[in-house]
């Protein structure tokens, strides 16, 4: 159960269309659990349209089991799901999972048994986001720059939220296979002398500076401090939301310079990812920060840095980039993965590291649209 001090603002609930869920196949639970918030929804049958149950603050719960149980206990018995797909901001490679930026640890099998589920599919959060890419509508994407996507080419997704997530979607036998990785923790690589000076500032606190240390929600305050120090600008400690607000409004030079650096660094990372995966199908920017930056992000050198790859500049210039503006894309991806990977696994409980993607199984996980 949630802690007694939970505020109403930290817990948002949505009404369910119970009759629609009951009229179809048995509903399944899908969830997207980050370092700050968790979202829960129900899907029915092969639907890719989750009905959102709630968005909650992770800090209001002692663990993932309590957060999920709180949502399930609110459901009528007829809607209690027997299957679930849960995306978590964590390394998913064994039965024991610990969230990267949250003090939650759990056993996948114990979680399944404790929630009385027949099937539990656990995903990395950006693995789930990758699964959502073929399902996204045009009005849920905002293009940044030029390029033209190869509809059958690999697709990459990267995004700063609390941390920095990275994944990709690879064509496989007429369908797709999502990549599970931890690309946000690669070493940060400066692109010019100024970024080298920024890196030197952060090195004083951390012997290894990952991309996430600077290009993420937990990294923005550190980047802000380093930018003000290197550029000789007045500094005051600010939370992420205020840094972003001042940058959008143009009311603080240090904040504006921080978001400009943030966008440029993200462009370098996204361009590197495009080259690594051969992402001719496009690169998608997810996470909760960039969509809220608006014109401040578009004014940054993101696209210039994305294309600035020396002899491969023309290669990256041909690859389109989009910012994802969908409300709950990881929930859509979790539903897609449960439909495809769960069907292929043939297991009552999908265990991390013991299954292969359904898109690589004969006759399973195919896509007709290749959008």
What are the helix and strand counts (H, E) for the chain? 13, 14
> Taking Cα atoms as reference points, which of 134, 147, 139 lies closest to residue 280?
147
Q: What is the DSSP code string of 85-111?
A: EEEESB--SSSEEEBTTSS-EEEHHHH
Question: What tens digit of pLDDT does each residue of 342-355 get?
Answer: 654 434 344 444 44
Banded model confidence at residue 326, pLDDT cuts 50, 70, 90: very high
- Any long-range contacts for 194-200 (C-beta under 8 Å, 24+ apart)? 194/230, 195/261, 195/265, 197/230, 198/223, 198/226, 198/227, 198/230, 198/261
- Residue 222 pLDDT > 60: yes
Q: How far apart are the first and last CA of the chain?
A: 41
The whole-angstrom separation of Cα 290 and Cα 284 is 11
All residues at 6 or more sequence positions from 365 whose CB lies less than 8 Å from its CB, including other chains: 175, 176, 340, 341, 343, 344, 357, 358, 359
Angle between helices 220-231 and 193-203 (to 10 degrees): 120
Banded model confidence at residue 12, pLDDT cuts 50, 70, 90: low
Q: Beta partners for 54?
A: 13, 40
Query: If you average pLDDT over residues 267-278, what whole number do you get?
Result: 98
Q: What pLDDT is stored for residue 174 in this prediction?
A: 78
Q: Does residue 166 contact residue 368 with C-beta atoms inside 8 Å? A: no
- Residue 370 pLDDT > 90: no
The owner of tokens 């969830």 is: 31
3-class DSSP assignment, residue 281? coil
The whole-angstrom separation of Cα 321 and Cα 319 is 7
- Residue 22 pLDDT > 70: no
3-class DSSP assignment, residue 172? strand
The whole-angstrom separation of Cα 45 and Cα 364 is 16
Query: If you average pLDDT over residues 295-308, what whole number do you get?
Result: 95
The whole-angstrom separation of Cα 139 and Cα 158 is 19
The whole-angstrom separation of Cα 159 and Cα 322 is 11
The owner of tokens 């290669």 is: 315
The whole-angstrom separation of Cα 328 and Cα 33 is 12
H helix runs in the chain, sequence order: 18-22, 64-72, 108-114, 125-132, 193-203, 220-231, 240-249, 253-277, 290-293, 295-298, 302-307, 313-317, 329-345
The whole-angstrom separation of Cα 20 and Cα 168 is 33
Bridge-based pairing of strands 105-107 and 96-98 is antiparallel
How long is the chain?
371
Q: What pLDDT is stored for residue 25 in this prediction?
A: 65
3-class DSSP assignment, residue 201? helix
Question: What tens digit of pLDDT does each residue of 190-203 get?
Answer: 999 999 999 999 99
- Residue 157 pLDDT > 90: yes
Query: If you average pLDDT over residues 98-118, what whole number do you get?
Result: 94
The whole-angstrom separation of Cα 286 and Cα 289 is 8
């Amino acid at each position: 159960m949630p802690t007694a001090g939970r505020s109403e603002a930290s817990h948002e609930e949505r009404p369910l269309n119970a009759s629609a869920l009951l009229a179809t196949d048995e509903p399944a639970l899908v969830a997207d659990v980050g370092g700050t918030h968790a979202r829960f929804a129900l899907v029915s049958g092969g639907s890719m349209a989750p009905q959102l149950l709630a968005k909650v603050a992770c800090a209001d719960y002692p663990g993932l089991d309590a957060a999920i149980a709180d949502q399930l206990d609110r459901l009528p018995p007829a809607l209690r799901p027997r299957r679930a797909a849960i995306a978590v901001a964590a390394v998913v490679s064994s039965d024991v999972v610990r969230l990267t930026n949250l003090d939650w640890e759990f056993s996948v099998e114990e979680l399944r048994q404790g929630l009385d589920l027949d099937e539990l599919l656990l995903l990395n959060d950006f693995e789930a986001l990758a699964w959502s890419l073929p399902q996204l509508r045009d009005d849920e994407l905002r293009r940044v720059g030029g390029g033209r996507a190869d509809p059958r080419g690999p697709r990459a997704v990267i995004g700063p939220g609390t941390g920095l997530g990275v994944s990709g979607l690879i064509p496989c036998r007429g369908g797709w296979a999502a990549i599970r990785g931890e690309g946000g923790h690669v070493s940060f690589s400066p692109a010019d002398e100024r970024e080298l000076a920024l890196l030197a500032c952060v090195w004083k606190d951390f012997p290894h500076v990952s991309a996430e240390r600077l290009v993420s929600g937990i990294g923005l305050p550190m980047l802000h401090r380093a930018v003000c120090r290197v550029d000789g600008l007045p500094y005051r400690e600010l939370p992420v939301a205020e840094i972003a607000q001042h940058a959008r409004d143009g009311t603080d030079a240090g904040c504006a310079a921080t978001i400009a650096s943030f966008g440029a660094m993200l462009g370098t990372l996204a361009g590197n990812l495009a080259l690594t995966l051969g992402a001719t199908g496009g690169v998608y920017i997810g996470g909760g920060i960039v969509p809220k930056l608006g014109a401040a992000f578009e004014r940054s050198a993101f696209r210039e840095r994305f294309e600035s790859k020396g002899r491969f500049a023309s290669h990256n210039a041909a690859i389109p980039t989009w910012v994802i503006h969908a409300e709950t894309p990881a929930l859509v991806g979790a539903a897609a993965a449960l439909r495809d990977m769960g069907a292929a696994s043939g297991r009552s409980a999908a265990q991390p590291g013991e299954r292969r993607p359904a898109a690589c199984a004969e006759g399973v996980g195919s896509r007709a649209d290749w959008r």
